[in-house]
Structure 1
Amino acid sequence: MSKPSVLFVCVKNGGKSQMAAGLMRKAAGESVDVYSAGTKPGTAVNALSAESLLEVGVDITGQTPTLIDPQLVRDVDLVVTLGREAHVDPVDGTRFENWDTDEPSERGIDGIERMRLVRDDIAARVTRLADQLTTTES
């Protein structure tokens, strides 16, 4: 049986989707193929996103925002969109989920504190997903 695969998508591929991919790589190790992409990629990974992940031992500083590849969408087992802004057209044979992630800025929380809350929300979701993907695999 092939390894499960997941593609995390947000608009810029500089924050939430990169965070989710980094956290999934840490949680699942080599047992899951992990990708991230953006519908309208930015130019760099968000510095505060990267900083908040470094605090938990995940380094995404070397990642580069990437445009979503329609072939990859067809090839992966699961596409997870993060937030309300990114939209990916459904493809037969690929499972889709949307994670309506915490947005602390709506409560007046910004900066590194905002990123820590976003990180913790995504980390909890990633941990659950990693468990699902790796237990159904064996």
Structure 2
Amino acid sequence: MSKPSVLFVCVKNGGKSQMAAGLMRKAAGDQVDVYSAGTKPGDAVNALSAETLLEVGVDISGETPTLIDPQLVRNVDLVVTLGSEAKVDPVAGTDFENWDTDEPSERGIDGIERMRLVRDDIAARVDALAGRLTT
């Protein structure tokens, strides 16, 4: 049986998808091939995203936002889009799911507190997904 693979996608590939990928690498170790990409990648990883992940022992500071590769979409087992803005066209043979992640800024929560809530929401979803992929 081949190792499961997952691609996390958001628009800029600087925050949520990078967080999800880093958290999945921590949760699943080498049992899952993990990728992240953006539909319109930014220039760098979001500093607050990286800071909040360091708090839980995950370092994404060396990652670089990457444009989504259609071939990778076809090759992975699962594509997870984070939020409603990132759109990826479905491909036969690849599973797709969307995570409408918590957006604390809609409740007036910003800065590091916002990012910790986003991180914790993504971490819970990643842990559940890691359990599904590795059993």
Tell me the TM-score range normalised by the shorter chain: over 0.9
Structure 2 stretches lacking a partner, 5+ long: none
The within-5 A match list for 1:74-93 is 74-93=74-93
**Paired AA for residue 18 in structure 2:** Q
Summarize deviations over 1:4-28 as a string: whole Å, max 9, x none: 0000000000000000000000000
Task: Give the aligned partner of residue 12 of structure 1.
Answer: 12
Task: Give the aligned partner of residue 69 of structure 1.
Answer: 69
The within-5 A match list for 1:28-47 is 28-47=28-47
State the SS of the aligned residue for 2:98.
strand
- What is the rounded CA distance, in whole Å, between the counterparts of 2:116 and 2:84 in structure 1? 19
State the SS of the aligned residue for 1:35.
strand
State the SS of the aligned residue for 2:134.
helix
**Paired AA for residue 122 in structure 1:** I
Pair 1:97 & 2:97 matched: yes
Identity level (%):
89
Summarize deviations over 1:93-113 as a string: whole Å, max 9, x none: 000000000000000000000
Summarize deviations over 1:43-101 as a string: whole Å, max 9, x none: 00000000000000000000000000000000000000000100000000000000000
**Paired AA for residue 132 in structure 1:** R
State the SS of the aligned residue for 1:130.
helix
Task: Give the aligned partner of residue 58 of structure 2.
Answer: 58
Task: Give the aligned partner of residue 117 of structure 1.
Answer: 117
**Paired AA for residue 83 in structure 1:** G
**Paired AA for residue 42 in structure 1:** G
Q: TM-score w.r.t. structure 2 length?
A: 1.00
- What is the rounded CA distance, in whole Å, between the counterparts of 1:45 and 1:126 in structure 2? 19
